[in-house]
């Protein structure tokens, strides 16, 4: 199954989601990320955080949802502005859920406060991804309504 983490800029949260998902994913599950208005770069703090967590950062870059290598099965929006956007028509019938996370790239303050915001975003996404992998995925792959409901529940209970 192909998962798309979708955000506006594709520099922080969607990259953190993609990298963490792929790091934890069992065989047969793959994540990608994209933005509706990509910034063209991955935020250096996102890359540094992933590296500190032992997650490879070599292949991650900011990209548009217009250039996806495959059509996703599931689209997870991770920012408020992306949640209300219409997914491109070529995505077709996909499961959509919203796992909103505050954007650490917009946090102002001390280095410690900014780093704390990045870690909060990462830990929220990681906890949700870990909860996702605890679901009976083989069973839920055949019940899209139940899979969507389970993913919506994850967002509602892990904040």
Residues serving a catalytic function are: 7, 79, 87
Q: Are 131 and 154 in contact (CB under 8 A)?
A: yes
Which is nearest to 91 in space by CA: 121, 65, 62? 65
Q: Are 98 and 83 in contact (CB under 8 A)?
A: yes
Q: Which residues of 22-41 are buried (b: 16+ CB within 10 A; e: fewer)?
A: beebeeebbbbbbbbebeee
Residue that is written with structure tokens 């979708």 in the block: 6
Tokens of 84: 């209300």
């Amino acid at each position: 199954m192909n998962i798309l983490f979708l955000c506006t800029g594709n520099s922080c949260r969607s990259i953190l989601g993609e990298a963490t998902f792929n790091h934890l994913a069992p065989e047969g599950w793959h994540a990608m990320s994209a933005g509706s208005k990509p910034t063209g770069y991955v935020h250096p703090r996102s890359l540094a955080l992933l590296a500190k967590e032992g997650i490879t950062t070599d292949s991650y870059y900011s990209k548009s949802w217009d250039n996806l290598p495959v059509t996703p099965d599931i689209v997870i929006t991770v920012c408020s502005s992306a949640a209300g956007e219409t997914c491109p028509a070529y995505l077709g019938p996909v499961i959509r859920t919203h796992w909103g996370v505050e954007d650490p790239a917009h946090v102002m303050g001390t280095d410690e406060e900014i780093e704390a915001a990045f870690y909060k975003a990462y830990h929220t996404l990681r906890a949700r991804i870990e909860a996702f992998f605890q679901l009976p995925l083989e069973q839920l792959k055949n019940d899209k309504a139940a899979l969507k409901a389970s993913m919506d529940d994850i967002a509602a209970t892990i904040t």
